[in-house]
A and B are shown apart, each in its own frame.
Chain A
Amino acid sequence: GAVVSQHPSWVICKSGTSVKIECRSLDFQATTMFWYRQFPKQSLMLMATSNEGSKATYEQGVEKDKFLINHASLTLSTLTVTSAHPEDSSFYICSANPTGRNIQYFGAGTRLSVL
């Protein structure tokens, strides 16, 4: 089956530092990947659509300069939380579509805690 790997699974950082999260599709190519944020006991909120070889598309209210997305290859997208603050603490999850298919496969998520 389709496997999406996400790293790290858990990260603690100091306020003001930047954190990079990687999302890899291990056995398929993904032209498009997605980044979600999930606060405790809430739903998954789409942050942005990551497009291989082009700029990411951000949802309304998501700061593109704070959440930098790079999709440099058909199997890797990265999300960098810049100048992280305690309010950025959340569960970040990526997903990927095998090219040409509707189904999204999710990474295991990254729990970010900003002190």
Chain B
Amino acid sequence: GENVEQHPSTLSVQEGDSAVIKCTYSDSASNYFPWYKQELGKRPQLIIDIRSNVGEKKDQRIAVTLNKTAKHFSLHITETQPEDSAVYFCAAPPSGKLIFGQGTTLQVKP
């Protein structure tokens, strides 16, 4: 089955710096790659997603890049702000269900 690996598990940056989180997946049939942000005790919120027919997608300070050949995709957050502090999860959907990465705890220091 699908296996999703996410790194790093924790990431601490200064406000204004950039943050990059990387994921690899195993199932070459996966064609949709969402990223979720989860604050403590709350539901995961979809922040950006990318489909396999594009290599990059950007939404304001957030971007996602996809390398299908290497089976990895990355989340890029620029100009980080304290409110970006949360746990971020990547996911890959074999057959419609989502398999999540292990999560990255991002801390943005003011």
Contact = CB atoms under 8 A, between A and B. Distances in A.
Contacts, number: 46
A54 interface: no
A106 B43 CA distance: 6
A13 B93 CA distance: 34
Nearest to B31: A102
B46 A43 contact: no
B29 interface: no
A42 B38 CA distance: 11
Contacts of A105: 46
Dominant secondary structure of chain A at its interface with chain B: strand
Given A102-B32, A102-B93, A103-B34, A46 B43 contact: no
A46 B98 contact: yes
B100 A107 contact: no
Contacts of B55: none
B43 A93 contact: yes
Nearest to B4: A43
A112 to B, nearest CB: 13
Given A34-B97, A95-B98, A103-B34, A43 B44 contact: no
A102 to B, nearest CB: 5
Interface residues of A, number: 21
Interface string B28-48: 000010100000011111100
A102 B96 contact: yes
Contacts of B65: none
A52 to B, nearest CB: 13
Interface in A72-104: 91, 93, 95, 97, 102-104
Contacts of A42: 102-103
B44 A106 contact: yes
Closest 3 CB pairs of A and B: A106-B43, A102-B32, A44-B100
Interface of B: 32, 34, 41-46, 49, 89, 93, 96-103
Given A46-B100, A106-B45, 13 more contacts: A32-B96, A42-B103, A44-B89, A44-B98, A46-B98, A49-B97, A102-B93, A104-B46, A104-B98, A107-B43, A108-B42, A108-B43, A109-B43
